[in-house]
Amino acid sequence: MHSHHLDTWELPAWALEVVEEWDDAEADDEARMQLAIDLASCNIAEGTGGPFGAAVFDRVSGRLVSIGVNAVVPSNCSHAHAEMMALARAQRDLGTYDLGTAGMEHELVTSCEPCAMCLGAVPWSGVRRVVCGATDDDARAIGFDEGDRAPDWQESLQSRGIEVVTSVCRAAARDVFQQYVDADGSIYNSRES
C-alpha cells in the first residue's frame, strides 16, 4: 500500500501555478498548444507522470477552463490520461457532462493525438474542436500503445461536427517524448506484440 497517491483527477501542485499564470484569452492554436506542451514537459521534470498535457478552452471567450496531465502511474489509474483529466475537470467545474450544451462551446487542446480511449471520450464530452500536437506515430515510436483507432478517426469526429486540427507545434510536442525517454520514463501498459 502506498503512503500517498494522487486522486484520479487531482493535479500536481506545480500545475496549479501554470493555470494561475495563464491569462491570454487572445491566444491562438500555437500558444494554446504550447501550454499543453509545457504541462507535459513539467510533468516529466517534476516526476509527476507521463509526457502528455491537455487543456480545455472556452472557444468564444478564449478562457482557459481546465488542464490535465498524464497521471497514470502516480494515481494507479489506467484512464488518468491528460485529455480525460482535462475533460473531467472542465465538466466538474462547469457543472455539466456536456461541454457543448446550449450556450457553451469548448475545445480540447492536447499535446498528442488522442489514444483510443481518449478518442472515444471526445464525442461524449461535448467539445466542438480538438487540436493535437504530436501524432499517434510519435507516441508509438517511443513505445506507447495507443490502442486501436480507426484510420479515419478525424473524419469520424468531423462527421459529428467536431473540428480536428493536427500537428500543431508537432516538433516541440515530439521533443517532450525524447525528454521522457532521456528521463527513463516508464512506458506503462505497452502490450503491443
For residue 90, the surrounding DSSP H or E stretch is helix 82-94
**pLDDT reading at 4 higher than 70:** no
Instruction: Kindly state the cell numbers that stand for 84.
Output: 480525460
Mean pLDDT computed over every residue of the chain: 90
Q: Nearest-CA neighbor of 36 among 9, 10, 57, 20?
A: 57
Tell me if residue 83 is catalytic: yes
Residue 186's pLDDT band, with cuts at 50, 70 and 90, is: confident
pLDDT at 190: 61
pLDDT, tens only, 167-177 = 999 999 999 99
**Residue 166 vs residue 17, higher pLDDT:** 166
Q: Nearest-CA neighbor of 35 among 60, 5, 15?
A: 15
The phi and psi torsions of 17 (rounded to 5 degrees) equal -65, -35
CB atoms within 10 A of CB 96: 14
Amino acid at site 28? D
Which position among 10, 30, 83, 192 bears the catalytic label? Answer: 83
**pLDDT reading at 183 higher than 80:** yes
Q: What is the mean pLDDT of residues 114-143?
A: 96
